[in-house]
Structure 1
């Protein structure tokens, strides 16, 4: 088992590319959304080099189906489980090798494989940075229409939903317990179970990134390593419109860098995933460079 008592500055980075859009609904033309192509765009913009990555692992691009699959009311549910298990192995191998996995997606459903890989080594906590809580589950959604796992990842990770995406080899319970979760940046106001700490976007902006990070870490205490999930739609739509569901208010790149930096400086970060940038919505390729700058600076502990 890798030793994570040291700060992440001592851990070499492994970039894991997850080119899928399995958790999203089809785009306006009925085709697979373009988030699957984000890992390549971010790597070509230099993210691995900026992070000093010692390895880059590329998972396959899975087939996308708009229609239902047998045995599940989650779109691409069967495929998502199969490919999540590949991601479990990749994340677990990185941690076992003493590396910090930085997982590039793709959509938010990849969180399941990330947490599954981490759970092979540790009980974990989760900081879920997202403009939406992603908490759709059978208790609040009519699955007569297919569910989209990218809007369900936090619910699934905490054990709410179909067994195909909530029960994982070697685990008796959920990937992460409610009391070990902090949701940062929600702009929807959706009520979540009381065990999860929620700091909505308005509260975050009012208190500032230093205070938001400090409150998150204090809530999670010093018991478990932390996985950080970053859905880039937490950025304001005026800053980054090329995401699946842009919105406002939101963070600036500088604010997200500062938030990641403060979390990184705790020395408790076990891994990070970055999701939902859609290069197909960015025909001039205006956004890979600022995304790379933001994420790299944040994970290197630089303060904006």
Structure 2
């Protein structure tokens, strides 16, 4: 059955700490940037919904030790309300960030809809407490937050903690493997963890199929895909906040996304961290958009 496509635009950048040369992180421009390259027109969604984000700030919340905590919580609640109010049972949802902290609001919506899994594709684990964060940015802690690890005010919004169970998550693609304390956080969790090298060893399609097997065996209500574009090799996607040299190719990504997209339980995908300010001519965005359109369009073929 061909599914309707809805696009949600959540251009939040409060989860990132701006660099010295920036006035604010450019990920806020991502939805409009993709539109410029024909993404929206060629996807031809049934609906496009947008929730404008608060102005950028660097406010440090002493209680949670997370920057912009109050604004992120408020925005997450609005996100969840938007997704729930526009929810269509058989629609495929494309959610455009923004930074990774948009996962918090999306996960709250999923919790309200049932028991969901997440296939988390990222060049980092984003699974650390504020004490290990060098910046206090929520975008580096989002996977911890949605599983109930971290400050109560962020992990238990509306009393819904945890939004997603650790055991229902595959975290794939982390290339930041040298820091033992960083990696130990996720190794000691119940998340199914495949760093970049384990992912290659296990096989890209095989890993996605293992995830789908878990979803079916547990009888989950559905699953969601997180795609932080910094999981891609730096040579094909350097327009990100925190660059890592090693990563996956578009072919590798396709091996995972194809079986996930084809599964009727796939709620959709969120795309985060592509920063137009680091790709002024669209050198890296253009092939990314082309790849993504083809993969989404081919999901029912």
Matched, 1:181 2:173: no
The aligned runs of 1:158-237 (5 Å cut-off) are 158-169=147-158, 171=160, 173-189=161-177, 190-191=183-184, 192=186, 193-222=188-217, 223-224=219-220, 225-237=222-234
Higher helix fraction: Structure 1 or Structure 2?
2
2:27–2:276 Cα contact (<8 Å) kept: yes
Q: Distance in 2 between matches of 1:67 and 1:293?
A: 37
Aligned to 1:33: 25
2: CA distance, partners of 1:275 / 1:244: 10
Count of matched residue pairs? 291
Q: Is the 8 A contact 2:5 2:45 kept in 1?
A: yes
**1:134-157 residue CA offsets vs partner (Å, 9 max, x unmatched):** 01215xx257x6511000000001
Cα distance, 1:212 vs. partner?
1.9
Structure 2 Cα separation of the partners of residues 54 and 282 of structure 1: 29
Using the TM superposition, name which of 91-100 and 258-267 deviates more.
Answer: 91-100
1:159–1:175 CA contact under 8 A, matched in 2: yes
Query: 1: distance between equivalents of 2:26 and 2:125?
Result: 22
Aligned to 1:278: 275
Match of 1:269 in 2: 266
User: Separation in 2 of the partners of 1:298 and 1:94?
Assistant: 24
Pick closer, same or farther for the CA change 1:119–1:11 going to 2, 3 Å.
farther
Where does 1:86-125 land on structure 2 (aligned, <5 Å)? 86-96=78-88, 98-125=90-117
1: CA distance between counterparts of 2:19 and 2:5?
Answer: 33
- Change in Cα spacing, 1:256 to 1:94, as seen in structure 2 (3 Å) is farther
Match of residue 20 from structure 1 = 12
Compute the TM-score of the two structures, normalised by the length of structure 1: 0.89
Q: How does 1:106-145 map to 2 (within 5 A)?
A: 106-138=98-130, 141-142=131-132
Q: State the distance in 1 between where 2:153 and 2:2 align.
A: 36
Whole-angstrom CA distance in 2 between matches of 1:153 and 1:45:
29
The SS at the match of 1:20 is coil
Q: Which moved more, 1:106-115 or 1:261-270?
A: 261-270
Distance 2:42 2:201 in 1: 31
Structure 2 Cα separation of the partners of residues 86 and 211 of structure 1: 36
| Residue 50 to residue 257, structure 1, CA distance change in 2 (3 Å) | farther
Q: In structure 2, what is the equivalent of residue 147 of structure 1?
A: 136
What is the root-mean-square deviation of aligned Cα atoms in Å?
A: 2.1
Which stretch of the first structure deviates more once superposed, 273-282 or 120-129? 120-129
Counterpart contact for 2:96–2:272, Cα < 8 Å: yes
